[in-house]
Structure 1
């Protein structure tokens, strides 16, 4: 009986210890691919993500040479995006010119948590920004170093189906 209780306790502790089994950060600029958006104008941006998923972004005002000047400028976590997606991480990149920017987004990071020794800060505002209007939990990371904006999660949920 005692060994059964001990075994159960060890199994529980192992499960709790592995709740945040995966760790990741925003994509490096060198991993971002841009594709001309023939319908909307500008460019769409893609980068490989964890679990064979893809970070996605766009900028209808972008020009081809903008990607060459992109630098990572920070990240944003929301439990609900303005479009209704859940557990969303967005990564921001800016270039040398005024309209040289994109935000790459990937969701749904289950059990999202900032990694230790990073610059994530929880937003506490009485009036949320329009982009965060549906969110109850918002955290921002302001750094030019992707590693300082790394985070942990237990799994990625399936992407919502296209309507």
Structure 2
């Protein structure tokens, strides 16, 4: 009986300790996104957790497009189409047809949606395009960054070149 009580206590302690060690993150606020001229278009960056940087680009944007950006949802996948692991991307759209950017941060280990947010698991049986390598895909269809908040245990180093 004593052994079962100790085992149960150890399990509960590990659950509470694990939850306490989790960090919460959100997509960057549009006001925090910076724009840099590239050829062609622009690159975008915004501060992320632990001193990391959200990055994105759009070869079709114009200088004033950033001022019109609004948050348009997010998605998480265990593997991106380029083979990067545990990726969260945040979408922003602007007033013009080609105005917008996808801001991405690599690599959130032990990712999970915050309870009460708008994340929804996507079917993985018939995956195509970006989702064809991922064994888990979650979409957040909200126009508010806070409704797409998520937890993670570790923010691993990004792949080379990111």
Whether the TM-score (by the shorter chain) exceeds 0.5 is yes
Q: C-alpha separation between the residues in 2 aligned to 1:67 and 1:76? A: 21
Kept in 1, the 8 Å contact 2:74–2:89? The answer is: yes
Instruction: Select between 41-50 and 8-17 the one with higher mean Cα deviation.
Output: 8-17
Q: C-alpha separation between the residues in 1 aligned to 2:111 and 2:44? A: 24
Q: C-alpha separation between the residues in 1 aligned to 2:52 and 2:65? A: 24
| Corresponding residue of 1:66 | 65
Q: C-alpha separation between the residues in 1 aligned to 2:87 and 2:12? A: 28
| Corresponding residue of 1:128 | 127
Secondary structure of the corresponding residue to residue 97 of structure 1: coil
| Corresponding residue of 1:89 | 88
TM-score by length of 2: 0.89
| Corresponding residue of 1:149 | 148
Alpha-carbon distance, 1:132 to partner? 1.1
Secondary structure of the corresponding residue to residue 82 of structure 1: coil
1:112 and 2:118 matched: no
Runs of at least 5 residues in structure 1 that lack an aligned partner in the other structure: none
Alpha-carbon distance, 1:159 to partner? 1.7
Secondary structure of the corresponding residue to residue 15 of structure 1: helix
| Corresponding residue of 2:34 | 33
- What is the number of residues matched between the two proteins? 157
Kept in 1, the 8 Å contact 2:124–2:137? The answer is: no
| Corresponding residue of 2:25 | 24
Q: C-alpha separation between the residues in 2 aligned to 1:15 and 1:51? A: 24
Alpha-carbon distance, 1:133 to partner? 1.1
User: How large is the RMSD of aligned CA atoms in angstroms?
Assistant: 1.8
Q: C-alpha separation between the residues in 2 aligned to 1:149 and 1:50? A: 15
TM-score by length of 1: 0.89
| Corresponding residue of 1:45 | 44
